[in-house]
Structure 1
Amino acid sequence: MVSGDHTYEHVTEDITLVNVMSRDPGGEISVYTAPTLRELLVDLINQGRYFLVVDLTSVELLDSTGVGVLVGALKRLRAHDGTIALVVESERALKLFRITGLTKVFPIFATADPAVEFLGREVPTAHA
């Protein structure tokens, strides 16, 4: 399914894969592009989708607003005993997560399949 610049698919009954696309040059999720991502994540959570894999492979960098969207989504998910896993390829983006200590908060994977498998182990009812 498509929502703004982003797409998503329900890969299991419980797990949703969100493919984040960036219109910013250089693949940045910034103050200008983050609101559409925030809206999508909030909509999915409101629909009862509490286990999200957010695929950031097309994203080179996130500014503080982009990081804030992910942290905000995690807080909303945790309120429903859910969680989020990230797929990050960009070394620049990975460095940001390391420097900020967010690698201790978000499970981060190089590809979507292990992220889905990880969430499948986190969710008693998930069958990934």
Structure 2
Amino acid sequence: MELNVSSTSQGGHAVVTASGELDLYTAPRLQTVLASLLRERVDRVVVDLSGIEFCDSTGMNVLLSAMKRLKEQGGTLELAAPRPAVRRILQVTGLDTVFSVHDAVPALDAT
């Protein structure tokens, strides 16, 4: 299955929308979009996971790496609207306590 990734940004905040499967083969696509936002010095990134049907450790590592780099720049990376299967992965790995996880995608201008 493919991974589709798009992003919108406004005033230093960005929402990255991903749909499909986030795994070893597709994770580089998300990594490229996140790296581009880091270069633009965006200070808040919300990753909309509502369209992600499957996520493996590679996908989680891409998210963790981006969060770490954003934090180093004084920014934040948050996750939004994970489906039950992805939410379960976050809970089992303890990453639900590492990431800020929202039930819905917050507005771009919300803090």
Q: Could you say whether these structures have the same fold, taking a TM-score greater than 0.5 normalized by the shorter chain as the test?
A: yes
Residues 104, 116 of structure 1: alpha-carbon distance in 2 compared, 3 angstrom cutoff: farther
Distance in 2 of aligned mates of 1:80 and 1:16: 15
* Aligned length in residues: 109
Greater strand content: 2
Q: CA RMSD in A?
A: 1.7
Instruction: Point out where structure 1 has 5 or more consecutive residues left out of the alignment.
Output: 23-27, 121-128
Residues 73, 40 of structure 1: alpha-carbon distance in 2 compared, 3 angstrom cutoff: same
State which structure, 1 or 2, has the greater radius of gyration over its C-alpha atoms: 1
Say whether residues 1:77 and 2:70 are aligned partners.
yes
Given the two structures, how large is their TM-score scaled by the length of structure 1? 0.78
Residues 75, 18 of structure 1: alpha-carbon distance in 2 compared, 3 angstrom cutoff: same
Percent identical residues: 29
Matches within 5 A, 1:1-128: 5-10=4-9, 12-22=10-20, 28-113=21-106, 117=110, 120=111
Distance in 2 of aligned mates of 1:88 and 1:53: 10
Cα displacement (A) at 1:50: 2.4
Given the two structures, how large is their TM-score scaled by the length of structure 2? 0.90
Distance in 2 of aligned mates of 1:87 and 1:100: 17
Instruction: Point out where structure 2 has 5 or more consecutive residues left out of the alignment.
Output: none
